[in-house]
Structure 1
Amino acid sequence: MRRVALVTGGTRGIGAAISIALKDAGYRVAANFAGNEEKANAFHESTGIPVFKWDVSDYQACVEGIAKIEAELGPVDVLVNNAGITRDGMFHKITPQQWNEVIATNLTGLFNMTHPVWPGMRERGFGRVINISSINGQRGQLGQVNYSAAKAGDLGFTKALAQEGATKNITVNAICPGYIATEMVMAVPEKVLSEKIIPQIPVGRLGEPEEIARCVVFLASDDAAFITGSTLTVNGGQLFV
């Protein structure tokens, strides 16, 4: 039976590329989304990948959403925690709401999604959890204290949980993308991209969502069974760790 993969934030940007790449690699894929139904439905129509709407910051919604997917497709073997939001602002101006929303989605969302699938992975003796963090979780970023804290927390989550999964053939790894040519990044003014962002990237270009997706496909595979608790840094040489 084909393995089942669930991708959060899986209908747009990096998440969409991951969903498509996993489908092309032979997985039965479910893509979660939280907001834009029109784009999610268009993604479903163009790819045939089923889409499911819930907010990963809501634990009960995650439990119910995962149960629905498992009833339709089978137990989740591969979980890609990709969903994330930004609520940027300088620290002296940031509000508790901006802090809490980002932590709830970008960090607590990992718990909310992984906790319900973890017992099944342990019982079946197989699992892959892949957490999409960020270069800014590794180095920090002005105006993103909330985002950087959450994404750094994702790395601690990854390292600790990997130790618990190792004896059950469950690997837990993280990927830290740099600047990727998603809708969000491409909305940055061209002058800022060309004069401030791309000059910081030694390879001289933005990454492509498909380049992150290929990393996910590898970490999900049997070939990556000896890799766990690791952080794969994919940023064109912008930061070495």
Structure 2
Amino acid sequence: MTKLAGQVALVTGASRGIGRAIALALADDGAHVAVNYRSRADEAQAVVEEIEKAGGKAVALAADVADPEQAGTLVERARAELGGLHILVNNAGITRDGLIYTMAPADWLEVMRVNFGGVFNCTQAVMGHFMAERAGAIINISSVMGERAWTGESAYAASKGAINAFTRNCALELARFKVRVNAVLPGFVPTDLVGGLLARDGGKAIKRRIPLREFATPEQVARVVAFVAGPDAEYMTGELLRVDGGAAAVLGTGRPD
């Protein structure tokens, strides 16, 4: 497919998991991809090599997106090394599971700094370029946790709720510049990020609460991101798209029994 031919995409946190799948999906649609990572250089380079082996073009770029200065440098390097920038996917994230009562202040602050701070920093860094071009697509990877409650996920859920609100406001501010801003909200995806939730029974109890009775794969999430980034979604902005197998329709509070 070549729906994104001639486009350059920057994907943060793209060395593994959902970010890796997104980078591969965008490349498969014809985009050149900047694969951002913070510490896993070997894994990021493996993603680049996979894209190049398939005939695409990619580069691995190190940066801690929670740092505004590094985020700005990352955007400029992506533009310089790949000849432009048209798509930003804010995917980098962490979690620090724990009850509110016993949570260390440093833990919730770090989750907000990386998850929401990274989205803010990279978005702000790319806005001037997108506004000048009067084009661009920003896709924020949020979570259904940002709209629901789950025991032990307060910091993570709050960071994703912030991303959801920011997505809507950013879409409003950038609409007059023809820049689209949307969020994709995965449900339960068996990656390292949610390993703690699946540790007790391999996720069987959680799976029973998902209407489709299956976890999402990173590739399923990535295909939705590629759609939102592409021309078929040119009239979509300010949207929060769930990819959760119906979980948000039935998910209550708490955790599996």
What range describes the TM-score normalised by the shorter chain of this pair? Answer: over 0.9
TM-score by length of 1: 0.95
Q: Report the CA distance between 1:190 and its aligned residue.
A: 6.8
Query: 8 Å contact 2:94–2:193 — kept in the other structure?
Result: no
CA drift of 1:232 comes to 0.3
Distance 1:41 1:32 in 2: 10
Per mean C-alpha deviation after superposition, the further-off stretch among 220-229 and 36-45 is: 36-45
Aligned length: 240
Quick one: which of 5, 11, 14 aligns to 2:15? 11
The reply on whether 1:191 has 2:208 as its aligned counterpart is no
Equivalent residue, structure 2, for 1:171: 180
What CA deviation, in whole Å up to 9, does each residue of 1:137-180 have, x standing for no partner? 11022112111111000000000010111121111001110011
Distance 1:169 1:65 in 2: 23
Deviations 1:180-203 (A, max 9, x none): 132444673372411x11001110
Q: CA deviation at 1:43?
A: 2.5
Cα distance change on mapping 1:112 and 1:97 into 2, 3 Å: same
- Residue 90 (1) aligns with residue 99 (2): yes
**Structure 2, unpaired ranges of 5+:** 53-57, 251-257
Q: Partner of 2:235 in structure 1? A: 226
SS in structure 1 at match of 2:248: coil
Q: C-alpha distance in 1, partners of 2:47/2:87?
A: 20
Quick check: 2:95–2:193 contact (8 Å CA) kept in 1? no
CA separation of 1:190 and 1:44: change in aligned 2, threshold 3 A: farther
Cα root mean square deviation, aligned: 1.6
| Structure 2 counterparts to residues 200-215 of structure 1, below 5 A | 200-215=209-224
What 5-or-longer segments of structure 1 have no aligned partner? none
Moved over 6 A (4+): none
CA apart distance, 1:46: 2.9
Q: Percent identity?
A: 39
1:237 correspondence with 2:249: no
Cα gap change, 1:141 to 1:186, in 2 (>3 Å): closer
Alpha carbons 2:35, 2:59 under 8 Å: kept = yes
